[in-house]
Amino acid sequence: MTGLRRALGLFVSVAAFATPSYAALPDELSDTFAAAIELLHRGKKAEALQELKKVAAMSPDQQAAYQLWRTRDYADWRDLLVEGGEFELVAKRLMELARIERKALRNDKDAILALVRTATTSEDATERRKAARTLASDHGEYAVPYLLPLLAEGDEDRRVLAMHTLSQLGHEASVPVARALEAEDAVVRRNAAFVLGNLGSAHAIGALQHAAAADADPVVREAAAGSLKRLNAQGDALSNFLAAGDAYWRRSDVALKRGEAGDVVWDWRDGQLAGTPIPRELYGSEMSKRAFYDALRVDPSSTPALAGLARAYVDGQTRIDALAAAGQDVGAWADAVGSTLIAVNGAGVEALDLALQSSVKAGDASTASALCRVLGPLAPSATAGLRAALAATDGAIRSEGAVALAHVAARSGAAAGAEVVRALGESAGREVLRLAVVIDADAARANAVAEALRGMGAYATVADTGAMGLVVLRRAPALDVVLVADALADITTAQIVDEVRGDERLSNLPIVVLSADPEAAAAMYGERIAGASRGASDLDVVRPALSAELTGDRALAVTLASRSAEALAHLGSADDLGPALSGLALATARDDATAVPALAALGARGTAAQAPAILAALIDEQRSETARAAAGSALARVVARHPAALDAEGVAKVEAVVRSGAAMAVREAAARVLGSVQLPAAERAKILEKLRG
């Protein structure tokens, strides 16, 4: 790989930083980064970006990035992320490098044991303080399992020092320390309660409040009450567990230190604290689930706790599915789907609807949509949550709410209403786009390629620099292919390839290199790319990517269109399908799963205005026999109601289908159209003469 020393203004791959051409001097790196932040805060964004380019040019390794991360306030990183563009890209790559280094250091058993020994046995107070600070900064919650056993230590001095060291670990230690309130040894519970009085967090306060009210040992209850007084705790155990569950679900800084997700979840098992590794993407969902289970332990009848639990299960499952679809190994967490279905359905309609309301309010499309799918078969009537979903600004939530309300209406025999019908029509007719990114400084070639891709049914975004291309790639919700020139002005094509392959979300994205010599480009990058192309006239290599099965949210959108069409087909006569007819007409051009129920609905309620779309499906020889036969049946019913729906040209097209070599089911359906058309006897005689024999 070349060009790593170039002042690019962004980080381009983990590998580039892991093996830098030279290591940045810590003071110089820190000073330059500080200058960039200062300029940004003063509104001098151009100058700030230039300083960040200098940071990039220093090629800091993981250790340098980690030291920078440790010494800067999280607000600085947040400001860079919020700024977006190259600022965001720099921050994310630095933070990722720091995370890799931090993760490698955090769970180092030998290092932790040595520091624990120093922090709890050294006669030198300075050394003890230094060891405690190192445990807090480098190991955090991973140090807790090695300190908790000392809470029952017979040596009072060491026990007190262990408690003091635990208190120095800060916010993130509160959850594992709170688990020690489940210990059988009352001494451990009492001392854990003392420590929690110095840590805080809604989850820990809830655990203390529960211990103060319900622990079997009066000494433990007294210790918990004392800690609550020191913390000036508000609310009660239930409200704080509920608040913690919401905070984890929202991935807020209240729950996750410096906006980070954890790598481990904690349980008290077999008399000791045990950690279970967890994919970072699932951490918030799992911790939210645990907080709501704790809330139910306090009050088993709490509907908000049941609602939060259902929401957390659904949120976690959607994230597991997304990781699995991206080819990531989620290990034993992938087996959670069974327990998810049981837990969510077991929560009950009232709790599920409350969970849906909060998800809609938060704009969580994935969770809200999934909850609509659960509520549809269960709700006895239109609920507040489903009505909120129908009114949502997000199209996916609105459509899922409409499908669920249509199911409710079909079961009850009541009318679904115009808004439901309109939303179903929008969903059935909504086209799911194929998406591409073209990264090329040659504007003429890039625009020609983008135009050719549009002709192939894909929407293309053009970026004229590698930096902007990476920004687009990272922000795009879904992509089918990226085309990148073999030469860029700011960064190398190899760096783009490495960046895409190193990103968990993009790792399977097909890459096509645009080159005047496609054979050489294909040989250079080998299996890392899907192929190479000369440009707009040579895009056959792109076709497999554009015809691959859709995944993620877009796959859900395809099935949602189908389910919307089916719902419309099954609505009772009490509903006027007028608001959905234009969407149903568009749906006739979709795949069979969407087109066939759409055609059935149009056959039942369609007007002359939809006849051209239905006719187009009937005469299209590329469509399946099932779709063409459904179109013929639908058109016959429309024509029977609206005799003027077909003009002479339309009749001739139907007649051609009857006379064609199409499948008998298609020809019979087309013949029924002819039977429904109002024609003079002489005209019918001509048609029959043509069909003779």
Has residue 589 got a pLDDT over 70? yes
Is the CB of residue 559 less than 8 Å from the CB of residue 399?
Answer: no
Higher pLDDT, 675 or 206: 206
pLDDT (0 to 100) of residue 551: 66
Percent with pLDDT over 70 in the chain: 91
pLDDT in tens, 596-647: 999 999 999 999 999 999 999 999 999 999 999 999 999 999 999 998 899 8
β-strand pairing of 531-533 with 511-514:
parallel
Closest among 79, 43, 58 to 9, alpha carbons compared: 58
* pLDDT single digits (tens) 397-424: 999 999 999 999 988 888 899 999 999 9
- pLDDT (0 to 100) of residue 10: 33
Q: Return d(Cα 586, Cα 583) in angstroms, integer.
A: 5
Backbone angles phi, psi at 482, to 5 degrees: -125, 135
pLDDT for 654-687, tens place per residue?
A: 989 988 889 999 989 998 988 888 777 777 777 7
pLDDT for residue 19: 35
404 in Cβ contact with 387 (< 8 Å):
no
Nearest to 540 by CA among 525, 530, 549: 530
Q: Which two tokens stand for residue 241?
A: 């567990």
**Average pLDDT in the 214-224 region?**
95
pLDDT above 80 (res 503): no
Per-residue pLDDT, 298: 94
Check residues 423 and 137 and name the one with the higher pLDDT.
423
Q: Is 72 exposed, middle or buried (0-12, 13-18, 19+ CB in 10 A)?
A: middle
Q: How far apart are CA 235 and CA 238, in angstroms?
A: 8
Q: Which helix (H) or strand (E) holds 485?
A: strand 481-485
Which of 63-72, 325-334, 371-380 has the largest mean confidence? 371-380
Positive/negative CA dihedral, 608, 610, 613, 617: negative
pLDDT digits (tens, 9 = 90+) for 569-587: 888 777 889 999 999 999 9
pLDDT value at residue 255: 60
List all residues 6 or more positions away from 500 whose beta carbon is below 8 Å from its beta carbon: 473, 482, 506, 507, 509, 511
Q: In DSSP terms, which residues pair with 531 in a beta bridge?
A: 512
In this prediction, residue 300 carries a pLDDT of: 93
Chain-wide mean pLDDT for the chain?
85
Is the pLDDT confidence value at 257 over 60?
no
pLDDT at 252: 72
Rg from Cα positions in the chain: 32
In terms of DSSP H, where are the helices of 571-647? 581-587, 592-605, 611-619, 625-641
Q: How many residues does the chain have?
A: 693
Q: What is the pLDDT of residue 227?
A: 93
435-455 confidence digits (pLDDT tens): 899 999 999 999 999 999 988
**Which pLDDT band, with edges at 50, 70 and 90, does 263 fall under?**
confident
The C-alpha atoms of residue 391 and residue 361 are separated, in whole angstroms, by 11
Give the model confidence (pLDDT) of 83-110 as tens digits.
877 787 778 778 777 777 777 777 889 9
pLDDT in tens, 238-250: 999 999 999 898 8
Query: What is the longest distance spanned by two Cα atoms in the chain?
Result: 115
Nearest to 347 by CA among 387, 296, 384: 296
pLDDT at 329: 73
Query: CA–CA separation, 118 vs 140, rounded Å?
Result: 16
Contacts of 224 (CB under 8 A, 6+ apart): 181, 193, 196, 208, 209, 211, 212, 215
pLDDT digits (tens, 9 = 90+) for 5-58: 222 233 333 333 333 333 445 688 888 888 988 998 888 888 988 888 788 767
Give the closest residue to 633 by CA, choosing from 657, 605, 599: 599
Instruction: State the burial class of residue 593 (Cβ atoms within 10 Å of its Cβ: 0-12, 13-18, 19+).
Output: middle
Average pLDDT over residues 136-140: 84
**pLDDT at residue 344, rounded to an integer:** 78
146-167: average pLDDT? 91
Confidence band (pLDDT; 50, 70, 90) for 274?
very high
* pLDDT given at position 644: 86
Q: Going by C-beta distance under 8 Å and a sequence separation of 6 or more, which residues neighbour residue 172?
A: 140, 141, 257, 262
The whole-angstrom distance between residue 398's C-alpha and the CA centroid of its chain comes to 18
Residue 59 in tokens: 């090629």
Alpha carbons 403 and 559: distance in angstroms, whole number: 12
pLDDT attached to residue 680: 75
| Sign of the CA dihedral with 153 first, then 156, 157, and 160 last | positive
